[in-house]
Amino acid sequence: MCSIFYINRLFPINKIAIGSTNPLAFLRGNQLLLTPIASKGSINLQRFTVSSLAYSSGLHLETASKPSTSQNSSDKDSYTVSYLINSCGLSPETAISASKNVHFETPERPNSVLTLLRNHGFSKTQIANLVRKRPVLLSSSPESTLLPKLEFFQSIGASRTDLARTISKDPTVLTRSLENQIIPSYNFLKSVLRSNEKVVAAMRRTSWIFLDDLAKNLGPNIALLREIGVPESCIILLLAHYPEALIPKLDQFLETVTEVKKMGFDPSKSLFVLAVHAISGKGGKSRWNRCYEAYGKWGWSKDDILLAFRKHPTCMILSGKKISGAMDFLVNKMGWQSVAISRYPWVLFFSLEKRIIPRCTVIRVLSLKRLLKKDVSLTSVLVSVEKDFLKKFVIKYKKEVPQLLGVYQGKVGFLEV
């Protein structure tokens, strides 16, 4: 059994028969490359000519005709694929695809690029992601092209951890000019955000902000916000933490701003820009419709949903799974009224496993033992900081329920108490 990967300049195969071997096989030029499918660790590609392989391993190939590529080109492509697998951690399929965009015959240049990345905190997985997305970077000059960009971002306060995480997700920024693209983008961001710390915060959100003509594309939207009375502090909040909200063209952004104002949001308050973020940018409307449908399934009316949105605008960017999981537990397990939760939408943002379930389980135990003199509110249970919750609902009842701390920590089951 073997897998055949068809690529450019491939022998058209009419028939293939395998003897006792169990290889992963693919053809490039007039050569068949093999590596064990179940191989662990680094993979070393073995290169055979079609005739020698057929002779030595019982593999019989019938080909329609020979391609007209040169042996040197085939060797170069084969070496590139092998290097991408062994040194960069790519799968054979991904390496073949990446080899269409980068070629090298010796390891000196790509090795120096990988060394630079490792020295700047990139993990094996991050390097593999970077190479998979932008294999051409392996042909870049590490000293004159890549290092100055990494040093620039570090000079404005980006840590190596920040850089490795952000760039491995989208390494396009390393392909852009430092002088003509990256620095002008930085200058615009600094003029609005006023501090390098906030520039780095925006970069952590997405590296595209260093790829765009910000003065041309984001400038008009920022000017519009200023014109309608949005404070600079709120504009900074939006650009630093939700820069994607400022992507739309001016006419589309104006529609969003107008809609948010009609919903009753005050431009002078931070909730205004949070509402803009919730319905702006790519997928804004689809997110809104998805959340609207999810809340509707739990009996929320249009007015209930708008009330929750006005209180906590980002409740309209939650996933349907997050909404359903929290609502199911709070309504079906705890017995709170579904509509009542619309008055406190921020509770839906808490972790179900780490906060909602542990705290609510403590409340269930106390309720069943009739130790609570009155019904407790959602906010007193879920919003208070851990120290206050423990003092009010765990330490206070230590004598009556010694296992209560264990229940909160998940060490004691509900039924055991």
Cβ-based neighbour number of residue 261 at 10 Å = 15
Q: How far apart are CA 396 and CA 393, in angstroms?
A: 6
Lowest-pLDDT range of 3-7, 78-82, 287-291, 356-360: 3-7
Q: What pLDDT is attached to residue 61?
A: 42
Largest pairwise CA distance in the chain: 88
The pLDDT of residue 377: 86
User: Length of the chain, please?
Assistant: 417
Dist CA 308 CA 64 (whole Å): 67
Question: Which residues touch 241 (CB under 8 Å, ≥6 apart)?
Answer: 201, 202, 205
Quote the CA–CA distance of 33 and 21 in Å, as a whole number. Answer: 13
Residues 51-63 have a mean pLDDT of 38
DSSP track, 258-314? HHHHHTT--TTSHHHHHHHHHHSSTTHHHHHHHHHHHHHTTT--HHHHHHHHHH-GG
Residue 285: alpha-carbon gap to chain centroid: 21
Per-residue model confidence (pLDDT) at position 24: 44
C-alpha dist (Å) from residue 393 to 79, 129, 348, 367, 406: 65, 47, 21, 11, 13
Nearest-CA neighbor of 389 among 417, 415, 365, 355? 355
Does residue 48 have a pLDDT over 90? no
Contacts of 64 (CB under 8 A, 6+ apart): 11, 12, 14
State yes or no: pLDDT of 300 exceeds 70.
yes
Q: CA-to-CA distance for 278 and 260, rounded, in angstroms?
A: 10
323, pLDDT greater than 50: yes
Tokens (6 digits) for 142: 């590490």
Output the average pLDDT for the chain.
84
pLDDT above 80: residue 20: no
Question: What is the spatial distance between Cα 98 and Cα 56, in angstroms, rounded to a whole number?
Answer: 31
Res. 145 pLDDT band, cuts 50 70 90: very high
Structure tokens at 327: 């609502």
Question: pLDDT tens across 187-243, in order?
Answer: 999 999 999 999 999 999 888 899 989 999 999 999 999 999 999 999 999 999 999
Contacts of 290 (CB under 8 A, 6+ apart): 320
Check pLDDT > 50 for residue 1: no
Query: Which residue type is seen at 166?
Result: T
pLDDT of residue 110: 96
- The structural domains of the chain, ordered by start, are 3-98 (no CATH), 108-284 (1.25.70.10), 297-408 (no CATH)
